[in-house]
Amino acid sequence: MSPRRRSLGGMALVVVLVWLVGYPLLITLLEALGLPAAFSLAPFLEFASRADEWRALWQSLWISAASVVLAALVGVPLGLVFEGTEFPGRRTLGALIALPVALPPLVGVIAFLFLYGESGFVSRAVQTVLGLDQAPWRLSGPAAILLVHAYSMYVYFYLFTRAALVRIDASVLEAAASLGAGRRRRFFRVTLPLLGPALVGAALLTFMTSLASFSAPYIFGGGFRVMTTQIVASKLNGQIAMAQVETVTLALLAFLGLWAMRRAEPGRTAVVGGVRGIAPIRRQLQRPMVRLGAATLGWGLALLLLLPHLTLLVISFVPPGTWTTEAIPPVLDGSNYRSLASTPERLRPVVNSLWMASAATLGAIVLGLSAARTAVRRGGRLGGLLETLLSVPWALPGTVFAIALATAFSVNRPELGRFILVGTPWILP
């Protein structure tokens, strides 16, 4: 392909991505400012004067920060153990522990509801054992949100920690040992600083994921509002201008997070954390009882972390109306699956999800690979612009992008690149 045609292809990709990514956000910002009718800061001033908006913003920030801390407390030790120690079943367990990241957010929340909710397996078992008249707890409020976030987001710290440990040069640790540093001193003075970039990346990723979280705050939040649920509440109450201002505010926070992530890219610290020799040798557990204890503890932990998945599996075999007050379901059969396969109105959502996901995947592959190939080949400002446009939809909370798309594609103005997609299935892919 000639350089001229490659240049035109690159510009065409930029135009498409700007239309898909930047244009809806720009329209949302302009409409929040009252344009094109009449410029007005009234919605922004109203936002600044309302205590509930500031409360939702503050609660989004502290929930995200607390989610980072809890996820790190779970994920980092797991990464250190599974990458630094050799014991029976380590590889299998290491893969199983990473499974929660594959559970869709809404499905994970529903699983927690069936497992730890007021009428869930665990609460009913505790109620039966202790002979209580009512459920021992309520799964609601910020504590419930943090529980779900910690469960679903510790994987980021776990995977980042393991990947960073593999990149550490064993000779650095050997040099520290030869200078008289003990195991604890080597960890705090050598290993931990080398893990710093990975931990910063995991923290930023967790913070942004928590900031974008909707399912857990929506189902467990109750009166505890965060910005994602506040946007939906404003939209449902007909406060369109306020929803747009909230969308712009949350988008700005997401852009700040994206900027911080790009500043903390691993490539900036490759010299510090890069492998120059071999990775550290895993500590071998020699005593049979210690090995057995480690394997037992590992499998127990994996079972605990996979309980929500197993709960969903069990619940899928419970016929409707058969499980009321018992601690465990009294009947298990395959009637739900037979009903799903034989009832068109129940099968249709599954079919719709599959074809929409397939269409979205095909479009993402074509657009993503084309843009990535062009960005790598061209480099410079065009490559940087393409990379930025590709990363923006990932960084933005789904609620923000949904409001932006609904704003941009709710009117028919072909001359402005706006078409009516709201109310059609095509806006989802």
Residue by residue, DSSP assigns 286-333 as -SHHHHHHHHHHHHHHHHHHHHHHHHHHHHTTSPTTS-SS-SS-S---
Mean pLDDT of the chain: 85
Question: Has residue 273 got a pLDDT over 60?
Answer: no
Please report which confidence band the pLDDT of residue 57 belongs to, taking 50, 70 and 90 as the band edges: very high
Q: Specify the higher pLDDT residue, 394 or 238.
A: 238
What per-residue string of b and e applies to 314-335 under the rule 16 or more CB within 10 Å gives b?
ebeebeeeebeeeeeeeeeeee
Q: ∠216-220-224 over CA atoms, to 5°? A: 100
Q: pTM of the prediction? A: 0.83
What is the per-residue pLDDT for 55? 94
Per-residue pLDDT of 191-244, as tens digits, reads: 888 888 889 889 988 998 999 899 999 999 888 999 999 999 998 898 888 999
What is the rounded average pLDDT of the residues 325-341? 85
Question: 228, exposed or middle or buried, with CB in 10 Å at 0-12, 13-18, 19+?
Answer: buried
